[in-house]
Amino acid sequence: ELKVEQNPLFLSMQEGKNYTIYCNYSTTSDRLYWYRQDPGKSLESLFVLLSNGAVKQEGRLMASLDTKARLSTLHITAAVHDLSATYFCAVDMSYPGNQFYFGTGTSLTVIP
């Protein structure tokens, strides 16, 4: 069974600092997704990474994918309070169907 592990599970960081969230998965996949969830809200798609070496950036967030290492990272640059949320990675196992396996989530709190 595919396992998707995120670390850290909880992250408290000061505004203006940089940090990286890691997503490791246990089997081959070329497609990885990052989602954001605010408290009491649904999951919002952030990034879709579809090949080895893919890098996507949006504002202060940058995601990358290394399929050989089975690792994706979500890098936060100069954090601001609005980034406080839970971040999930999800791996796409297209066989036998389009089923995503979600990581445990990383709860990020940005403090002033």
Partner 1 sequence: DAGVIQSPRHEVTEMGQEVTLRCKPISGHDYLFWYRQTMMRGLELLIYFNNNVPIDDSGMPEDRFSAKMPNASFSTLKIQPSEPRDSAVYFCASLKNYGYTFGSGTRLTVV
Residues forming contacts to partner 1 in the complex (CB under 8 A) are: 31, 33, 35, 41-45, 48, 50, 88, 90, 92, 96-100, 102, 104-105
CB of 66 to partner 1, least distance (A): 19
CB of 42 to partner 1, least distance (A): 5
Q: Are the beta carbons of 18 and 78 closer than 8 angstroms?
A: yes
Question: Please, which residue, 43 or 62, has the CB nearer to partner 1?
Answer: 43
C-alpha 46/C-alpha 59 separation (Å) is 11
CB of 78 to partner 1, least distance (A): 27
Question: Please, which residue, 79 or 86, has the CB nearer to partner 1?
Answer: 86
Question: Please, which residue, 63 or 79, has the CB nearer to partner 1?
Answer: 63
C-alpha 27/C-alpha 71 separation (Å) is 10
C-alpha 28/C-alpha 19 separation (Å) is 26
Q: Give the pairing of strands 106-111 and 10-14.
A: parallel
Question: Please, which residue, 95 or 112, has the CB nearer to partner 1?
Answer: 95
The distance in angstroms from the start CA to the end CA of the chain is: 41
CA 81 to chain centre: 18
CB of 50 to partner 1, least distance (A): 7
